[in-house]
Amino acid sequence: MIKDTSGQDQVIKQKPKLLKPALAITLMLSVVTWTGFAMFNSDNASMSIDKAQLQLAKVERGNLVRDVAATGKIVAANAPKAYSPEQGFVSLNVKAGDTVEKGQVIAEVESPELNNSLKQQESELARLKGELARSELAARRQALALTKTLDLAQVELNAAERENRRAQLSIEKRLISQIDLEKAVDDLAKAKLTYKHAQQEVELAKDTLSFELQSSKSQVARQQLVVDELQRKVGNLAIKASVSGIVGNLLVQPKAMVVKNQALLTLVDLSAFEAELQVPESYANDLGIGMTVELKIGSEQIKGQLSAISPEVNNREVTTRVRFETSNISNIRQNQRLSGRILLENRSDILMVRRGGFLNAGGYVAYKVNGDLAQRIEITTGVTSINHVEVLAGLDAGDEIIISNYDTFKNADALLLR
């Protein structure tokens, strides 16, 4: 019985094939070339870096917009506070979040002292008006008496003139004596003098009465002003909303004792919004009123203008206000977060490169890429924007540099890029 065919099998050894002469020569030259290049680069480069781990960028010529990035929130452009006009007890007619209309009574202050003072001054006004009416009646009575005196003086003057004419006729006819004629002449002179003095007294009395009446009227008018002012203050105890919107924060508790000019609550005008941005302190001197600002609210891009800059620095930031160029902005709310870009300067036709971590080294050096070798060179940078930095010297358009952080390079003069 035959178990298997192993006895019939025979191992045949295959001779190795030799490479073709041309292929062998090409392979040998490649190895020699690569080895020589590697030895050359290794002699010049003090470090070897994986190129995939680096960020590279080319120097290009174009327009650089110098800007500063900032974050902030939506705030009401008009958010007035309501204040207590007088000391007293306050009653709040609204709650936080309530919608109010302009002119609506939102709070009332009860001031017993002010109300009592108003009643006292109104009583004094009524008394002065009574005194004025009494003075007018007395003036009319005195004017009537003076008129009567003047009329009597006129009658006496007429009688004296008539007696004087009779005496003149009688003396011509020798009916009376010379003494009687002289008496008639004296009586006429006396009557004229009495009438003249009566006229002067009437004029003087009228001026006196007019002055006294004017003084009484002035007192009444002054008291009327006092009453009007108190009535205005009492009317202001009913505090009205200065804008249409919603009630913000309540600054006092209902029925609390408040003093004059104490803040009671805040109102938020929902018809006008502005953006409040926090800008780093280092850019404070570059900011100016009227600068263009690009805002991003959600997915919407909105333009505005810088309308206010805070004169103080808080937490190394400067607070700015931005007014929107358009008013028909939808879906925005109070305290909604946003980001913005303030355009500080626009420079055209300059050398620039993409911004990166290499600026942490001060912007004085860069690693210029030439094939698989990056050489350390000195450069001069200018202004920076969010995305680019200006190149003043050391590089030309088309040059490629490493823009990654240089901390791991240890100030190497050259790098071998793998």
Q: How do residues 5-15 score in pLDDT, each as one tens digit?
A: 555 555 555 54
218: left (phi over 0), alpha (psi -120 to 50) or beta: alpha
Q: How confident is the model at residue 76 (pLDDT cuts 50, 70, 90)?
A: confident
Q: How confident is the model at residue 35 (pLDDT cuts 50, 70, 90)?
A: very low
Contact residues for 369 (Cβ-Cβ < 8 A; gap 6+)? 56, 400, 401, 402, 417
Q: Please check the confidence at residue 45 and state whether its pLDDT lies above 80.
A: no
The predicted pLDDT at position 298 comes to 78
Q: How confident is the model at residue 27 (pLDDT cuts 50, 70, 90)?
A: low
Q: pLDDT exceeding 90 applies to what percent of the chain? A: 18
The predicted pLDDT at position 138 comes to 81
Task: Give dist(CA 31, CA 36) in Å, integer.
Answer: 9
The predicted pLDDT at position 3 comes to 53
The overall average pLDDT reported for the chain is: 82
Q: What is the pTM of this model?
A: 0.51
The predicted pLDDT at position 152 comes to 80
Q: How confident is the model at residue 182 (pLDDT cuts 50, 70, 90)?
A: confident
The CA angle 286-289-293, to the nearest 5 degrees, is 80
The predicted pLDDT at position 196 comes to 83
Query: Between the CA of residue 302 and those of 144, 318, 328, what are the distances in Å?
Result: 83, 22, 11
The predicted pLDDT at position 283 comes to 84
Q: How do residues 91-148 score in pLDDT, each as one tens digit?
A: 999 998 888 999 999 999 999 888 999 999 999 999 988 888 888 888 788 877 878 8
Task: Give dist(CA 109, CA 264) in Å, integer.
Answer: 10
Q: pLDDT exceeding 70 applies to what percent of the chain? A: 87
Report the sign of the C-alpha dihedral through residues 313, 278, 308, 85, in that order.
Answer: negative
Quote the radius of gyration of the chain (alpha carbons, Å): 53
The predicted pLDDT at position 190 comes to 82
The predicted pLDDT at position 146 comes to 79
The predicted pLDDT at position 222 comes to 92
As a whole number, mean pLDDT of residues 192-217 equals 82
The predicted pLDDT at position 109 comes to 92
Q: How do residues 240-276 score in pLDDT, each as one tens digit?
A: 998 888 888 899 998 899 999 999 999 888 777 888 9
